[in-house]
Structure 1
Amino acid sequence: MKSQENVANHPAMLGDRVKRAGWKEKLSHLFSRYGIFLIFIGMVVLMSFLSPAFLNVYNLMNVVRQISFIGIVAMGVTMVIITTGIDLSSGSVIALVSVVAASFAHPGEYPLIVPIAIGLAIGVLAGCINGTISAKGNIPPFIATLGMMTAARGLALLYSDGRPIGNLSDSFSFLGRGEILGIPFPIIVFLIMGIISHLLLSKTKFGKYTYAIGGNEQAARICGINVDRYKILIYTYAGLLSAIAGLMLTARVSAGQPSMGQMYELDAIAAAVIGGTSLSGGIGTIPGTMIGALIIGVLNNGLDLLNVSSYWQQILKGAIIVAAVLLDSRKQKKS
């Protein structure tokens, strides 16, 4: 027995165990930091083997263009979730922006800036109301944004009389259908808003306070952070991003529709969660959310190419969301 203990405790054996533990820690750290990117690359490789049409340049461009709308919304939702909040109103805000902006986008009536400015103003106002009710009224974000979800959808139906509003100008349609140097305009906006949102969250006082509020709201108040003010700003920014997505979606389908944006809030939350944003607050990144949105896009497109039923697609998407939340929960317990 003693000889076995001596062998087990031999410096060389101890060194091997330390090395193995070190490699495990390194791999765990690597996957924790870059796992979402590795999963995305793995999905792209898998889909390219399963369907030769997947790696077609036109198809890939179409995937990114389709997911860019949800991706833009998800950036704002990410910031909200980091503060331990939630935004269920994104899809309804998109619908309200859509019908109101479309009514001012007819050919020869108003300059392009008018429907854009009105649409953005509606999104900002809706987000500001969400933030104010949640922060100043001490109402849970779930309830505050659920109320906005219902009210905004009702206003969209009331404004449009439940009908699509068409006959949009060519200049407005460019927002959803145009290209610059062969790149669809929605993709360009998706990348620009991704860069802006990332810089806001990682390089500014706004971002630092966002993480601080999500990490410990009471401690943030004690440190002198105006929590209510920053919550309102965060929800306002989320409303602005929903409005941007709404304007481009309207231009894409060439009509303002009161039914537009249905389930977008859930897809945006899914993209954020899959991208590593913690529902417990204090954790999340914009690049991660963008990759999360792309994962949803690759999944939907790949399954379409494989002729998989849309019902199974919904089931698989739900399973991925639950798996992402379970992984987050395990990380929280370990930490």
Structure 2
Amino acid sequence: MANTTASAEMLPTESSKQKQLKSLISKYGIYFAFIGLVIFMSAMHPAFLTVTNILNIIRQVTSIGLIALGVTIIIITRGIDLSSGSVLALVSVVAASLAQNPDWHAKMYPSLPALPVIVPILAALAIGSLCGAINGAFVAKTGIPPFIATLGMMIVARGAALIYSDGRPVSDLNDSYNFIGQGEIFGIPFPVILFIIMALISWILLNRTRFGKYAYSIGGNEQAAFVSGINVAKYKILVYTFGGFLAGMAGLVLSARISSGQPGLGNMFELDAIAAATIGGVSHAGGIGTIQGTVVGALIIGVLNNGLDLLNVSAYWQQIIKGSIIVAAVVFDMRKNARKN
């Protein structure tokens, strides 16, 4: 009897420990996965954990990371954005055309003064924001599913990029513009600094403002949000506008990093950004997600891409691996939400 009683008393403790472990994995699993992936890639290739390679990974991930920040908030409102990569391409060719090298500009347009670097920057951010606002307006005002609305923008923006550039790269960019993608401040790449700043701004918007509170409410229950007095249409437009703004910034960073605006840039970037957000714990059911999770998700995508390249894994297999990880992340998210309910 004494042994039976002791066993019975131990059961709640064991159950409690299991719950704590599950809660820990649910909350911090993405960080454990990231650390495990870094350790694995380091063991598989000696060049992975070098300063040069780490900086290379961070540089490469900034454009996708910037898009992913915007996509995170969009998915939280139970939306999606498939147009980010095409918007990036459109922004890159327009901004590059306004950031030409002074010598080239003087030769082609002798009667016009060279434009200051602020002009292509503002143009890029304005175009990105406008594309996002159009996406948001279609989603909010017409009731078109976000998938269809942003798919249309994806095609239109890519076509506009091809028309504007005549299908050719726009090169000969001035040094001030190139600094956005290639410069360093105190040894830290400027794109990384920009990404960190935008991640902090996105975190503040999502966690410390009415904008973020309403985004979570809309994603959690749109009808309830509307009944409680939230202007759902307005905030949907703002959410997609912010996503477009970040896609425009990503276009600036990438075109400056490669010193060229190209109509083919950003192909499949929207899927990598969605993957980063999904891996980072953003729920496609809406109302759940964090900026810090997305940042780690973007780093996982960067480490995965870089590590698979170092291991000479075929690009075709890389697509399969990334696709499988996305599906696994969504399945995990669905099971986690089902347990909560």
TM-score between the two structures when normalised by the length of structure 1: 0.96
Aligned to 1:18: 12
Aligned to 2:286: 281
Aligned to 2:308: 303
- List per-residue Cα deviations over 1:64-104 (Å, max 9, x = no partner): 11011101100000100011100000001001101111110
* Aligned AA (2:143): N
Shift of 1:293: 0.6
SS at match of 2:276: helix
Give the one of 294, 300, 319 matched to 2:299.
294
Quote the Cα distance in structure 2 between the aligned partners of 1:251 and 1:42: 33
- List per-residue Cα deviations over 1:122-154 (Å, max 9, x = no partner): 001000000011101111111111111111111
Shift of 1:49: 1.2
2:211 corresponds to 1:206: yes
Following superposition of structure 1 onto structure 2, how do residues 254-273 of structure 1 map, counting pairs within 5 Å? 254-273=259-278
Shift of 1:328: 0.8
Aligned to 2:70: 76
Following superposition of structure 1 onto structure 2, how do residues 133-144 of structure 1 map, counting pairs within 5 Å? 133-144=138-149
* Aligned AA (2:76): I
Structure 1 stretch displaced more, 91-100 or 298-307: 298-307
Aligned to 2:223: 218
2:232 corresponds to 1:238: no
Quote the Cα distance in structure 1 between the aligned partners of 2:314 and 2:263: 27
Quote the Cα distance in structure 1 between the aligned partners of 2:181 and 2:3: 70
SS at match of 2:256: helix
Aligned to 1:56: 50
Structure 1 stretch displaced more, 136-145 or 307-316: 307-316
- List per-residue Cα deviations over 1:251-302 (Å, max 9, x = no partner): 1111110111110111100000000001111111111001001001111111
Aligned to 2:101: 107
SS at match of 1:230: helix
2:119 corresponds to 1:117: no
* Aligned AA (1:167): D
Quote the Cα distance in structure 1 between the aligned partners of 2:261 and 2:61: 19
Aligned to 1:29: 23
Quote the Cα distance in structure 2 between the aligned partners of 1:262 and 1:308: 20
TM-score between the two structures when normalised by the length of structure 2: 0.95
Quote the Cα distance in structure 2 between the aligned partners of 1:254 and 1:301: 22
Report runs of 4+ in structure 1 exceeding 2 Å deviation. none
Quote the Cα distance in structure 1 between the aligned partners of 2:321 and 2:120: 38
Aligned to 1:42: 36
Aligned to 2:192: 187
Aligned to 1:157: 162
Shift of 1:14: 2.1
2:88 corresponds to 1:94: yes
Quote the Cα distance in structure 2 between the aligned partners of 1:334 and 1:130: 34
Structure 1 stretch displaced more, 308-317 or 34-43: 308-317
* Aligned AA (1:133): F
Quote the Cα distance in structure 2 between the aligned partners of 1:182 and 1:221: 48
2:329 corresponds to 1:324: yes
Structure 1 stretch displaced more, 47-56 or 212-221: 47-56
Quote the Cα distance in structure 2 between the aligned partners of 1:319 and 1:107: 44
Shift of 1:308: 1.6
Quote the Cα distance in structure 2 between the aligned partners of 1:121 and 1:236: 10
Shift of 1:313: 1.3
| Aligned positions, number | 329
Quote the Cα distance in structure 2 between the aligned partners of 1:156 and 1:68: 22
Aligned to 1:132: 137
Quote the Cα distance in structure 1 between the aligned partners of 2:50 and 2:9: 50
Quote the Cα distance in structure 1 between the aligned partners of 2:323 and 2:153: 25
Quote the Cα distance in structure 2 between the aligned partners of 1:148 and 1:84: 18
SS at match of 1:106: coil
Aligned to 2:338: 333
Structure 2, unpaired ranges of 5+: 103-113
SS at match of 1:257: coil
Structure 1 stretch displaced more, 306-315 or 93-102: 306-315
